């Protein structure tokens, strides 16, 4: 048996209907360098989705590899309760300087960061005698991870439905994604309507609400839905007015993905300064996509709410691998990379602006494609909504695209009818052309395939329209 077959026997793959692996077996990747993966048959595959949005500087990036290797010779892992170590101290200090928040609390994945932020928020109100403030607000299409607490504030039906009885009820408010505007409603009016809906909800429910959680600027799992930073300015104002925390889930959008180091920094308040959330959740790019690590940063006010002689007033949450030294060293190497300038005096964000302009020009044919209904771009994220029939049976458009793209040497995972790329920041001009050409070729081939299918009404719309490539 080859690796792929053995994997189907032994490994339960994430976000996957395992039965479908009979038709589309998992690809076994045996090496990876830069943006390229190599499978066990020697095929090269361009990682156009940064291995699920985590990879920043390509695979095998030397500074990260060297940092981890060096740390392995010092301290591999120790518990963080009652002990500490240099990498976690230094990382926490530097994340504090970069965000203006602090008191970094660590876990190993994004969903755990969401859980920590939700628990910390509600617990901090309770410690202040406001135990009634324990409800949460999420946005339509919001995604914050798939543990039970995180799923409670996630609005992706495909992920939620089976677990609905396990989840805590939370309010889901309209998303400022302009595509959700009702017919005849302008994007500006839709934005205002979303702000008004939040204001109205808070006016009625602030006394029982701990926090609103949202993905600043790009709702990734909703299909790279983008919104105006003005919404975040309004969220800050309304949260202040109503004494509700704002949790910025920067797990996917942090570390330069939207063009600034953190996405919320593009929201400039009335005082001319970028708004600051009460909590920031980080993961994915935090270690450059090499080690599992997440962090939650918060305000002095939240931290102070736990400062007490009584143990039970402390934040007694923990994970065995909290603050893993190897992962922290990887994260420090990432921060060093963002701080460095090249021979031309450019830093990562400036180089990304140049690369993005170049790639954007290459994707012009895609924007003009007759079947592209809408396109979006921010920083290092591009998305195109495709006009696809949804009256066909599975495999879905997204599944067909994934399969055809692999055969063409591209790793893509469309979300429903949205084709997107979120590449590592290290595509060469040749890689960019390969990706842009490949997108167009694969799209045309799959559209021809789907157009030729017989009508089939059995596929629930929810799956056809919103299924992340499952």
Confirm or reject binding of residue 143 to ligand PLP (CB under 6 A). yes
Distance CA 244, CA 278 (A): 9
Confirm or reject binding of residue 291 to ligand PLP (CB under 6 A). no
Residue closer to ligand PLP by CB (options 178, 220) is 220
Distance CA 76, CA 311 (A): 29
Among 194, 244, 252, 366, binds ligand PLP (CB under 6 A): 252
Among 175, 266, 283, 337, binds ligand PLP (CB under 6 A): 283
| Coil, helix or strand at residue 13 | coil
Q: Cβ 51 to ligand PLP, closest distance in Å?
A: 12
Distance CA 434, CA 432 (A): 5
The H-or-E segment that residue 438 falls in is helix 429-451
Among 47, 155, 177, 215, binds ligand PLP (CB under 6 A): 215
Stretch that binds ligand PLP, among 103-111, 228-236, 348-356, 374-382 (CB under 6 A): 103-111
Confirm or reject binding of residue 228 to ligand PLP (CB under 6 A). no
Closest CA relative to residue 106, chosen from 362, 369, 349, 287: 287
Confirm or reject binding of residue 155 to ligand PLP (CB under 6 A). no
**Maximum CA pair distance of the chain?**
70
The phi, psi pair for 71, rounded to 5°, reads: -65, -35
Confirm or reject binding of residue 35 to ligand PLP (CB under 6 A). no
Q: Which residues of 3-31 are buried (b: 16+ CB within 10 A; e: fewer)?
A: eeeebbeeeeeeeeeeeebeeeeebebee
Confirm or reject binding of residue 144 to ligand PLP (CB under 6 A). yes
Stretch that binds ligand PLP, among 131-139, 237-245, 247-255, 446-454 (CB under 6 A): 247-255
Residue closer to ligand PLP by CB (options 110, 174) is 110
Residue closer to ligand PLP by CB (options 258, 392) is 258
Stretch that binds ligand PLP, among 205-213, 244-252, 305-313, 439-447 (CB under 6 A): 244-252
Confirm or reject binding of residue 220 to ligand PLP (CB under 6 A). yes
The phi, psi pair for 276, rounded to 5°, reads: -125, 130
Token digits for 374? Answer: 């809408």
Distance CA 378, CA 235 (A): 21
Among 67, 68, 95, 111, binds ligand PLP (CB under 6 A): 111
Confirm or reject binding of residue 149 to ligand PLP (CB under 6 A). no
Q: Cβ 318 to ligand PLP, closest distance in Å?
A: 17
Residue length, the chain? 470
Give the 3-state secondary structure percentages of the chain, helix then strand then coil, rounded to 5. Answer: 45, 15, 40
Residue closer to ligand PLP by CB (options 215, 431) is 215
Strand partners, 381: 378
CA angle 452, 453, 456 (to 5 degrees): 150
Q: Is 3 annotated as a binding residue?
A: no
Among 87, 138, 145, 149, binds ligand PLP (CB under 6 A): 145
* Residue given tokens 């994970």 in the structure block: 319
Confirm or reject binding of residue 469 to ligand PLP (CB under 6 A). no
The two beta strands, 36-39 and 102-107, are: unpaired
Q: Is 170 annotated as a binding residue?
A: no
> Could you give the C-alpha distances from 4 to 1, 15, 73, 416, in angstroms and in order?
8, 17, 34, 26
Confirm or reject binding of residue 110 to ligand PLP (CB under 6 A). yes
The H-or-E segment that residue 211 falls in is strand 209-214
Cα 152 versus chain centre, distance: 17
Stretch that binds ligand PLP, among 89-97, 246-254, 302-310, 336-344 (CB under 6 A): 246-254
Q: Is 284 annotated as a binding residue?
A: yes
Confirm or reject binding of residue 420 to ligand PLP (CB under 6 A). no
Q: Cβ 289 to ligand PLP, closest distance in Å?
A: 11
Among 47, 115, 228, 249, binds ligand PLP (CB under 6 A): 249
Distance CA 385, CA 371 (A): 8
* Annotated binding-site positions for pyridoxal 5'-phosphate: 110-111, 249, 319-320
Q: Which residues bind ligand PLP (CB under 6 A)?
A: 109-111, 114, 143-145, 215, 220, 249, 251-252, 283-284
* Annotated binding-site positions: 52, 110-111, 143, 249, 284, 318-320, 413
* Annotated binding-site positions for substrate: 52, 143, 284, 318, 413
């Amino acid at each position: 048996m080859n690796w792929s077959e053995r994997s189907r026997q032994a490994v339960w793959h994430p976000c996957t209907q395992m039965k479908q692996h009979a038709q589309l077996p998992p690809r076994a990747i045996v090496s990876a360098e830069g943006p390229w993966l190599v499978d066990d048959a020697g095929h090269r595959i361009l990682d156009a989705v940064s291995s699920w949005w985590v990879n920043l500087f390509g695979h095998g990036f030397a500074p990260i590899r060297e940092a981890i290797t060096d740390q392995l010779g010092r301290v591999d892992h120790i518990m963080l309760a009652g002990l500490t170590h240099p990498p976690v101290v230094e990382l926490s200090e530097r994340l504090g300087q970069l965000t203006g928040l602090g008191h970094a609390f660590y876990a190993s994945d994004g969903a755990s960061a969401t859980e920590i932020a939700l628990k910390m928020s509600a617990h901090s109100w309770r410690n202040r005698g406001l135990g009634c403030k324990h409800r949460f607000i999420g946005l339509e299409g919001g995604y914050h991870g798939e543990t039970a607490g995180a799923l409670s504030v996630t609005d992706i039906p495909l992920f939620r439905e089976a677990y609905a009885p396990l989840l805590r009820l939370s309010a889901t408010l309209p998303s400022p994604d302009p595509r959700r505007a009702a017919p005849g409603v302008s994007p500006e009016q839709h934005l205002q309507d979303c702000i008004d809906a939040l204001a109205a909800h808070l006016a009625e429910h602030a006394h029982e609400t701990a926090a609103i959680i949202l993905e600043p600027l790009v709702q990734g799992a909703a299909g790279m839905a983008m919104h105006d930073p003005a919404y975040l300015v309004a969220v800050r104002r309304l949260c202040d007015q109503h004494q509700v925390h704002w949790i910025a889930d920067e797990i996917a959008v942090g570390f330069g993905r939207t063009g600034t180091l953190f996405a919320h920094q593009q929201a400039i308040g009335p005082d001319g300064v970028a708004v600051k959330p009460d909590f920031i959740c980080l993961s994915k790019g935090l270690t450059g996509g090499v080690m599992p690590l997440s962090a939650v940063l918060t305000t002095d006010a939240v931290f102070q709410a736990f400062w007490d002689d009584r143990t039970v007033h402390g934040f007694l949450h923990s994970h065995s691998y909290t603050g893993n030294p190897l992962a922290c060293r990887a994260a420090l190497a990432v921060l060093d990379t963002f701080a460095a300038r090249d021979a031309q005096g450019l830093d990562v964000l400036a180089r990304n602006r140049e690369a993005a302009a170049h790639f954007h020009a290459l994707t012009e044919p895609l924007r003009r494609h007759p079947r592209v209904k809408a396109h979006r771009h921010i920083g290092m994220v591009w998305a195109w909504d495709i006009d696809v029939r949804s009256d066909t049976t599975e495999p879905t458009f997204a599944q067909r695209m994934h399969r055809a793209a692999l055969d063409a040497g591209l790793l893509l995972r469309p979300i429903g009818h949205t084709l997107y790329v979120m590449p590592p920041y290290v595509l060469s001009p040749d890689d960019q052309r390969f990706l842009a050409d490949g997108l167009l070729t694969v799209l045309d081939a799959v559209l021809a395939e789907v157009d030729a299918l017989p009508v089939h009404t059995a596929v629930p719309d929810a799956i056809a329209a919103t299924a992340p490539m499952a």
